[in-house]
């Protein structure tokens, strides 16, 4: 049994397993974040093989902070469940952050968040924008510090669903060397290491200046529509994981953060055109970032 510790942006984790291949797989995506000392605040994940004397039962256990969370039957389900277990624990173990269901990026020194549920196209859009020069913070959470209102990075591997492979490859991100996993109702997915897109792809803590709600509509011309800050704040609180369990009242954090942001709804269609539209919106910041 071996344990490895990771500090992935703001999120500390440990992974313990009796399966060397599971550890190697995780290291393959997160080697850069390997640390020798256990992070003080972390989620402890264990992946164990269940005894073969119960052949009719599921074969693996994914345990998060000493509680069994998932019992995947297939080898290629383990990694998605590890990610899910971490996702599940983050809102419980990091009350100093307000956590929204959103992908997050950095452009210049400004944060951009794309709030939305599953199927809104945020991971595909995120991959495209990273390939276009944005810096990556996370494809699943906006972690907003309750006191500073700064957006924190959690640069986990970007989860791309198989139907989106073609779109992602059209912006120059190769999925050919990416291992595929089975993720329940989402079907097959691949995990893209953002550092494989660009060595400097990962961003750092920054203030939120743009809130853009994406909605993927196949075949639609991409378009942006400004919305009021109150509407954006109301819609943001609907995708909040810990509105009441955050250290501060969640709505206070959202209202404080949104005062400094410009807010839009985005109908996203073809990935390249959508990325261009978003780049045009924040173009001035892109130029500044390149000049810097």
- The binding site for another protein (CB under 8 A) comprises 228-231, 233-234, 237-238, 242-245, 249, 251-252, 254-255, 258-259
State the minimum distance, in angstroms, from the CB of residue 91 to another protein.
10
Question: Between 197 and 236, whose beta carbon lies closer to another protein?
Answer: 236
Residue bearing tokens 């006191």: 147
State the minimum distance, in angstroms, from the CB of residue 95 to another protein.
13
Question: Between 102 and 197, whose beta carbon lies closer to another protein?
Answer: 102
Farthest-apart Cα atoms in the chain, separation: 63
Distance CA 155, CA 179 (A): 18
Question: Between 91 and 121, whose beta carbon lies closer to another protein?
Answer: 91
Assign 122 to helix, strand or coil.
helix
Give the helix ranges, DSSP H, for the chain: 20-30, 78-93, 122-131, 165-170, 194-197, 229-238, 250-258, 271-281, 283-291
Distance CA 160, CA 43 (A): 24
State the minimum distance, in angstroms, from the CB of residue 127 to another protein.
29
Residue 255 Cα distances to 57, 171, 226, 259, angstroms:
48, 35, 17, 6
State the minimum distance, in angstroms, from the CB of residue 159 to another protein.
23
Question: Between 192 and 261, whose beta carbon lies closer to another protein?
Answer: 261
Question: Between 74 and 259, whose beta carbon lies closer to another protein?
Answer: 259
State the minimum distance, in angstroms, from the CB of residue 259 to another protein.
7
State the minimum distance, in angstroms, from the CB of residue 282 to another protein.
21
Question: Between 50 and 237, whose beta carbon lies closer to another protein?
Answer: 237
Cβ proximity of 141 and 236 under 8 Å: no
H or E element: which one contains 85? helix 78-93
The number of helices, as runs of H, and strands, as runs of E, in the chain is 9, 17
């Amino acid at each position: 049994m071996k344990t490895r510790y990771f500090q992935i942006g703001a999120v500390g984790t440990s992974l313990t397993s009796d399966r060397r291949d599971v550890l190697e797989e995780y290291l393959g995506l997160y080697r850069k974040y390997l640390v020798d000392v256990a992070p003080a605040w972390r989620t402890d994940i264990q992946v164990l093989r269940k005894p073969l004397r119960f052949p009719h039962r599921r074969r693996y256990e994914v345990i998060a902070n000493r509680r069994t969370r998932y019992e995947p039957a297939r080898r290629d389900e383990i990694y998605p469940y590890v990610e899910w277990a971490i996702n599940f624990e983050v809102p419980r173990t990091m009350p100093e952050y307000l956590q929204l269901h959103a992908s997050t990026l950095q452009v210049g020194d400004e944060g951009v968040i794309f709030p939305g549920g599953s199927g809104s196209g945020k991971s595909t859009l995120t991959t495209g924008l990273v390939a276009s020069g944005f810096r990556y913070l996370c494809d699943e959470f906006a972690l907003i510090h309750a006191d500073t209102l700064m957006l924190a990075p959690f640069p986990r591997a970007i989860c791309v669903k198989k139907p989106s492979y073609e779109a992602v490859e059209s912006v120059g991100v190769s999925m050919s060397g990416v291992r595929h996993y089975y993720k329940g109702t989402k079907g097959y997915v691949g995990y893209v290491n953002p550092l494989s897109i660009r060595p400097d792809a990962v961003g750092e803590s920054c203030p939120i200046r743009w809130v853009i709600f994406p909605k993927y509509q196949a075949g639609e011309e991409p378009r942006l529509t400004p919305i009021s800050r109150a509407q954006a704040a109301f819609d943001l609180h609907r995708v909040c994981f810990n509105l009441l369990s955050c250290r501060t009242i969640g709505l206070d954090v959202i209202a404080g953060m949104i005062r400094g942001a410009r807010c839009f709804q985005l109908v996203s269609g073809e990935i390249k055109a959508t990325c261009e539209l978003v780049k045009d919106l924040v173009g001035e910041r892109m130029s500044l970032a390149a000049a810097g």
